[in-house]
Amino acid sequence: MKLLYFAQLVDILQRSHEDVTLPAGVRNVDQLLGWLAARGEPWTSHMVANRIQVTVNKQFAQPATAVDNDDEIGLFPVRGA
């Protein structure tokens, strides 16, 4: 899976993208955010549903949207969150 970070997430996370392999059990956007948040700070503070907008293959996604290792995921901070 290719993760793309945008706006201030690039500075906060010190990267603009990364390639990851999803662990078993991560099958949707909500689970993906939980897995990323489990990395510890600063991930924990920023990979929260009300603070982040997610796209899956360039389409806006909801928490239940399925994800797969072949997907491109965009992570955008929500303004004012």
Low-confidence ranges of the chain (pLDDT < 50): none
What would the pLDDT profile of 41-62 be if each residue is shown by its tens digit? Answer: 999 999 988 899 999 999 999 9
Quote the pLDDT of residue 81: 56
The closest alpha carbon to 61, from 31, 25, 21, 16, belongs to 31
Classified by CATH at the fold level, domain 2-77 comes out as: Ubiquitin-like (UB roll) (3.10.20)
What residue spans define the domains of the chain?
A: 2-77
The confidence score (pLDDT) of residue 79 equals 77
Continuous H helices in 8-49: 8-13, 29-37, 43-46
